[in-house]
Amino acid sequence: MSIFLNHIALNVKDFDWYEHFFRTVCNMSIYREDGVSPHRKIWFSEGIQLNETTEELPVKGIYDHVGFHAEDVAGFVNAAKAAGCSDVPGKAHWFMLPNGVKVEVKCYS
């Protein structure tokens, strides 16, 4: 039996920013949308689900980070920072989304 991660769901307040970020900076494709503001949800084919919320979100969650594969690690990290993400101190191939979720970027080749 094979088990693998299907998707990760993120609760976000600035839904439009996150939708734009994952669609344009990460070049992900939306395959499903549901609901109306302020309770929208979208699913990207690449394994990210966004859930719109109006509630305050904790800075620390129950997981540490989300990992991405990119052929151009530096290019992806730089594009994320240009879009409004911030540095993760001491981690060159990482960035942080505005809601505090850390993202690690690696190239497996």
The tally of domains found in the chain comes to 2
Residues 59-84 have pLDDT tens digits of 665 577 889 999 999 999 999 999 99
Residue 109 has pLDDT above 70, yes or no: no
State the Rg of the chain over Cα.
Answer: 14
- State both tokens at 89: 């101190």
Q: Rounded to an integer, what distance in angstroms lies between the CA atom of residue 65 and that of residue 63?
A: 6
State residue 107's pLDDT score: 86
- C-alpha distances in Å from residue 100, one per residue of 1, 3, 10, 72: 35, 28, 11, 23
Are residues 78 and 104 part of one domain? yes
pTM value is 0.84
Question: For residue 1, is it within any domain?
Answer: no
pLDDT at residue 52 greater than cutoff 80: yes
Indicate if 51 and 88 belong to the same structural domain: no
Task: Note whether 48 and 76 are same-domain residues.
Answer: no
102 near 66, Cβ under 8 Å?
yes
Q: What is the mean pLDDT of residues 26-47?
A: 96
Q: Hey, is 81 helix, strand or coil? A: helix
Provide the CATH number for the domain around residue 14.
3.10.180.10
Q: Does a structural domain hold residue 70?
A: yes
Mean pLDDT of the chain: 89
